[in-house]
């Protein structure tokens, strides 16, 4: 990782395994089984987003994952009273607070931390008092990173969507620089720095070269690849892409 050992942690998001299941409202494919296979293949953590509308991951999934995940369980969620209550009951290793709109296909941007400082401070404190690490999903914006520090978060996850979706070399370079600057500020503020959203087997390579980034969280591209080569194969390929042979 950017810890000097040449190793970056890989978190695997299994939401879209549940998306396929919910398309038919049946029992397969099971995101719990996918998580087991991802861990066997060498990932460093499992991520799920329990949405308020339960469009993919269900409460049942979260309950079983808490009992079965051996690496670390990261629960992405909105900072609502309902979700904080669920987190306090389930006790994932990490909670990543994310913005959420019902009409979005996927999380479209980072939290507006600076404008919601006191509310987020309260949510973070409740979670941390229960020994749950708190990460904030933020755009690569220096002000939002500084606000995350004021909240008292343990970590930030930098939203890499604009970097991943850039259509030109110039825009990709500009977005990469924003990620780089945000990561540097985050590390100076003693926040653990994670990156995620839109990362795939190609564009992840530059992100993991940023020394301050210790983990990448990836879902869709791994699940898509798993349709062709299986979950274990897809995770191993990603593990090789970011460094560290699995």
Per the annotation, the verdict on 16 as an active-site residue is no
Spot the catalytic one: 16, 56, 159, 197: 197
Q: Which helix (H) or strand (E) holds 196?
A: strand 192-196
Please count the residues of the chain: 246
Which residue is associated with the tokens 């008292």?
A: 152
What does the alpha-carbon distance between residue 19 and residue 93 come to, in Å, rounded to a whole number? 23
Q: Which helix (H) or strand (E) holds 38?
A: helix 31-40
* H-helix segments, 58-168: 59-68, 81-90, 117-129, 142-151, 161-165
- Phi and psi at residue 9, to the nearest 5°: -70, 150
Spot the catalytic one: 16, 49, 56, 159: 49
178 closest CA partner among 139, 214, 122, 151: 139
- Cis peptide, bond prior to residue 9, ω within 30 of zero: no
Spot the catalytic one: 76, 100, 157, 192: 76
Per the annotation, the verdict on 157 as an active-site residue is no
Per the annotation, the verdict on 232 as an active-site residue is no
* Rg, the chain, Cα only: 17
**Contact between residue 185 and residue 178 where contact means Cβ atoms under 8 Å apart:** no
Q: In whole angstroms, how far apart are CA 124 and each of 62, 77, 78, 209, 235?
A: 20, 12, 12, 30, 31
What are the structure tokens assigned to 153, written together?
């978060």
Catalytic residue ranges: 49, 76, 197
């Amino acid at each position: 990782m950017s810890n000097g050992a040449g190793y970056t942690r890989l978190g695997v998001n299994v939401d879209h395994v549940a998306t396929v299941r919910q398309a038919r409202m049946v029992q397969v494919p099971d995101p719990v089984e996918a998580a087991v296979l991802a861990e066997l293949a060498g990932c460093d953590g499992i991520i799920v987003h329990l949405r308020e509308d339960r469009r993919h991951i269900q409460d049942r999934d979260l309950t079983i994952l808490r009992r079965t995940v051996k690496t670390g369980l990261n629960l992405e969620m909105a900072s609502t009273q309902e979700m904080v209550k669920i987190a306090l009951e389930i006790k994932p290793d990490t909670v990543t607070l994310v913005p959420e709109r019902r009409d979005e296909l996927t999380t479209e941007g980072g939290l507006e931390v600076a404008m919601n400082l006191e509310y987020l401070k309260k949510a973070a404190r409740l979670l941390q008092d229960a020994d749950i690490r708190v990460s904030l999903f933020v755009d690569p914006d220096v002000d939002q990173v500084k606000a995350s520090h004021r909240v008292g978060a343990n970590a930030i996850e930098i939203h890499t969507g604009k970097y991943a979706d850039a259509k030109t070399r110039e825009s990709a370079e500009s977005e990469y620089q924003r990620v780089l600057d945000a990561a540097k500020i985050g590390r100076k503020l003693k926040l653990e720095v994670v990156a995620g959203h839109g990362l795939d087997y190609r564009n992840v390579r530059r992100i993991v070269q940023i020394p301050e980034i210790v983990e990448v969280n990836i879902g869709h591209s791994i699940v898509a690849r798993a349709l062709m080569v299986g979950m274990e194969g897809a995770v191993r390929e990603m593990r090789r892409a970011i460094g560290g042979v699995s």
